[in-house]
Amino acid sequence: MKLIFDLRNLIFILFGFAIPVSVALTNYLIIIFIVIWLVIGIYDLVIDGDFYRKISYFNSLKWLWSIIGLVLFYFFALLYGDNHDDATYVIQRICLLLFFIPFATSKFTQLTYRYAVLVFLTTNLLAAFISIAIKNNIINDLHNYLPEDIISSQSSVSAFLKYNYHNILLSFSCLLSFTLFTKSQSKYSFIYLILILIYSISIFSEAGRAGYLTFNIFFIIYAIYFLKKRIVYSISLVCFLIAVNVCSYVKSETYLHRIKNLKHIVQNNGQKKNKKSVKGEIDIRYTFTKESLKLISKQPFLGYGTGSFVSVFSESIDSKHTFKKHKTPHNNFLYIFFEIGFLGLLVFLSLFYFQIKDLISNKSTTLDILILPFFYLFLMLFDSYLFIFTITIFYIFMYTIYKGYDMDKKYIL
C-alpha cells in the first residue's frame, strides 16, 4: 500500500502544476485521485480499520456538511420554479465542491504540502514569463505551437488560461509568496520577492481587473497588519504598491485602458465607454446588479429555482445584452440568492464560516490563514467564481494546503 500512498501524494503535488495550466489535465488528476481515494478507503475498511476514524473525522468537519447541504439544496430547487434551462450547468459546477471530501479525508505529509506549494508557485512563474513574452512579441500565442485541445486559440487567453483566471492565480501567488517570505529563515528567502515582482509585471500587463483588485487590496491589508509588528514591511509594501500602479499606468496600455474604462463607467452611472458599445449602453454588471435585486425582492426566501437565472432575467427585463456568455449576474452572492433564495445563501455562507473557524482553531497566526477564504469571498463579489472550474479547484487545493501545512515550522524554504 505504500506505493498507493506515495502515488496519492504525487498526484496531489501535480495539482499544483495542472491547475494553472490545463482544465483537461486537472480533470484527469481528479479522476485518478478519486480512484486512489476509493482504493485506500476499501483497504481501510477491510484491512487497516482506519475507515471509521475517517468517518468520525468527516462528521467533525461542519463545513463539509455545509457543502452537502448546499448541493442538496440545489437539487431541491429543481422541484420549484418554471425555468431550469441552465440546471445542468449549475449542478455540474456545484457538485465540484464535493471534491473537498477526498482531499479532506486524506493524509498528506508536510513534505507533500511543501512540494505542492513550490510546484504551484513555479508553474505560475512559468505562466507569468510566457505571458510577458507574448505581450512583448518575443513569442507567439501558445496555440501556435500546441494543439487547440490543449491551448485555446481565443484572444482572451494569457499564457495557458483566460486572462482573468491567469491574473487571479498570479495575484494569490504574490500573497502566498509574501507569506512564505515573512516566515522563511533561509538566506534565499529573497527569491520570494523576485517571484512577486515577476508575477506583478504579468498581472498588470493583462486585462484581469480581479487580479488588480485582489493584489492591491490584500497587500494593503498586509501593510496595515504589519504596522505594529514590522513597520519596515508596511512602508515597503506601500512603496511597492505605489510603484507598481504608477509604472503600470504609464507603461501598460492594457492597465491604462481598464482603469479609464472603469472610471468612465463609475462616473457615468454605468454607461460603457467601449468603442464597440452602442451609445448610452449600460455596463452589464450594472444592469445585472440593479435588476437582480428587484427580482430577488419578489421571491426572497427560496428564489426562482436551480438554473433559472438566464430564463427569468431575459423574460422579465428588457435588456440589449445577450446571455450566451453571461449566464450569471457576475456576483456569486446575488446568483445564489436569485436561484435558491435567502435560505440557500445562508447555507452557502455557513460553509465559509465553519471553514474559517476550522482554519484558525489550531493556527497561531490568523491573518496568513484567513487570507485564503477572504480572498475567495472577495472574488465572488465580482463574478460567480464558485461556478468557475479553475478557481474552485484552486480554492479546494489551497484550502487543503492551508489546513494541513504547518507554516510555523521549518518546512518552508
pTM: 0.92
Residue 13 resides in a domain: yes
Q: Tell me, what's the pLDDT at 2?
A: 79
What is the secondary structure of 390-412 as a DSSP string? Answer: HHHHHHHHHHHHHHH--TTSS--
CB atoms under 10 Å from CB of 44, counted, come to 18
Name the percent of the chain lying above pLDDT 70: 88
Cα–Cα distance for residue pair 55/35, rounded to 1 Å: 18
CB atoms under 10 Å from CB of 347, counted, come to 20
pLDDT digits (tens, 9 = 90+) for 237-254: 999 999 999 999 988 888
Q: Which residue has the cell 496519492?
A: 8
C-alpha cell of 237? 509594501
CB atoms under 10 Å from CB of 186, counted, come to 13
What is the sign of the dihedral through the CA atoms of 145, 146, 147 and 153?
Answer: negative
Q: Tell me, what's the pLDDT at 322?
A: 64
Average the pLDDT over each of 115-129, 222-236, 271-285 and give the range with the smallest value. Answer: 271-285
Strand partners, 282: 271
Q: Tell me, what's the pLDDT at 183?
A: 87
pLDDT digits (tens, 9 = 90+) for 210-222: 999 999 999 999 9
Cα–Cα distance for residue pair 316/335, rounded to 1 Å: 16
What is the secondary structure of 332-344 as a DSSP string? Answer: HHHHHHHHHHHHH
Domain that holds residue 183: 2-404
Residue 411 resides in a domain: no
Q: Which residue has the cell 491573518?
A: 367
Buried-exposed string 48-79: b where 16+ CB fall within 10 A, e elsewhere = eeebeebeeeeeebebbbbbebbbebbeebee
Cα–Cα distance for residue pair 343/162, rounded to 1 Å: 33
- For residues 408 and 391, the model is more confident at 391
Residue 264 resides in a domain: yes
- Measured CA to CA in angstroms, residue 108 lies from 59, 89, 314, 398, 403 at distances of 19, 32, 47, 13, 11
Residue 412 resides in a domain: no
Residue 410 resides in a domain: no
- Measured CA to CA in angstroms, residue 230 lies from 79, 183, 225, 354 at distances of 55, 13, 9, 31
Angle CA(138)–CA(140)–CA(142) in degrees, nearest 5?
Answer: 125
Residue 399 resides in a domain: yes
Residue 409 resides in a domain: no
The arithmetic mean of pLDDT across residues 307-331, rounded, is 78
C-alpha cell of 120? 504551484
Instruction: Name the domain count of the chain.
Output: 1
pLDDT digits (tens, 9 = 90+) for 87-145: 999 999 999 999 999 999 898 999 999 999 999 999 999 999 999 998 888 888 777 77
CB atoms under 10 Å from CB of 148, counted, come to 9
